[in-house]
Amino acid sequence: MDFNSGKSLLEICEKEGLPISAVMRKREEFLMDMTSCACDEKMKKALEIMKNSVHESLDHPVKSVGGLIGGEAEKIRQHRREGKSICGEVLSRAIVHAMAVLELNASMGLIVAAPTAGSSGVVPGLLLALQEVYDFTDKQILDSLYTAGAVGYLMMRNASVAGAEAGCQAEVGAASAMAAAAAVELFGGDPSQCLSAAGMALSNLLGLVCDPIAGLVESPCQSRNAIGVSNALTCAEMALSEVKHLIPFDEMVDAMYRVGRRIPFELRETALGGCAATPTGCQKQCEIFFS
């Protein structure tokens, strides 16, 4: 059941008549020498942490370590509760959840790096919003996390998920691809549709730079997680509608990595360019470290 590319993953899915989640679960069982139940228990723990990371900062808002973010997710949730949201129920909830996770991460709370701390709000943000609106069971969400994990594994194996190496396209972009694929399987899409959504999500954020203000994973990271869930939801909708991405997933992963390696180092998590290098960004850095 091992695979090293999107193409080989789809071949296994077709040969065995299995969704991506089932193939990924069997792969983990074999490589980790674990039973199916033991494997699921580890994933249940991740899901539990994801749920807690969404609700903890909403129930108890706190300022981040650098003081750049804190309480934004609750503001958006209140806006939705007042009937003022212009995004619709799923997207509005997904944005709130994704931003809440980043608030908790930035205040040193416990999160699941999926695939990284800086992009940790995207996967739980979308999947838990879908669960709340469509009443998916924890078992269904658990399966979708295996699908997200398969996509994340392929990007880590064949490219990168590090902002310092390939920009934010490798962090929020990768997380968005994972969430898109997971959402497609959750709604009954086949493996090829899952990877089509993932490739689409990568292409939409191709070239996204990593420029954290003051070098902290706070801003603009929080709002980019919101963009990540929006992108994932859009790509899942297109894939489920039989809209196919022109570029195969494997080629898209390779393109993302090649683009990332060409991004100037100032725009790869060094806090020397982009938002971090604006006058206000520099001012905030001085206030945090030198005031």
pLDDT of 192 above 90? yes
Predicted pLDDT at 247: 98
What distance, in Å, lies between the first and last C-alpha atoms of the chain? 55
pLDDT-based confidence at residue 10 (cuts at 50, 70, 90): very high
Predicted pLDDT at 291: 79
CATH number of 122's domain: 1.10.4100
In a domain, 243, yes or no: yes
In a domain, 1, yes or no: no
Q: What is the mean pLDDT of residues 209-220?
A: 98
Single-letter residue type at 130 = L
Q: How many structural domains compose the chain?
A: 1
Predicted pLDDT at 1: 78
Predicted pLDDT at 32: 86
Q: What is the mean pLDDT of residues 76-104?
A: 97
pLDDT-based confidence at residue 196 (cuts at 50, 70, 90): very high
Which range marks the domain in which residue 232 is found?
A: 6-290
In a domain, 267, yes or no: yes
- In whole angstroms, give the CA distance from residue 142 to residue 99: 22
List pLDDT tens digits, range 95-146: 999 999 999 999 999 999 999 999 999 999 999 999 999 999 999 999 999 9
The chain-wide mean pLDDT, for the chain, equals 97
Least-confidence region, from 33-37, 152-156, 274-278: 33-37
pLDDT-based confidence at residue 12 (cuts at 50, 70, 90): very high
Spell out the residues 6+ positions from residue 219 whose beta carbon is closer than 8 angstroms to its own.
68, 69, 212, 213, 275
In a domain, 245, yes or no: yes
Report yes or no on whether pTM surpasses 0.95. yes
Spell out the residues 6+ positions from residue 176 whose beta carbon is closer than 8 angstroms to its own.
122, 201, 202, 204, 205, 228, 229, 231, 232, 235
In a domain, 206, yes or no: yes
Structure tokens at 256: 């993302």
In a domain, 229, yes or no: yes
pLDDT-based confidence at residue 84 (cuts at 50, 70, 90): very high
In a domain, 237, yes or no: yes
Tokens 């809440």 found at? 100
In a domain, 270, yes or no: yes
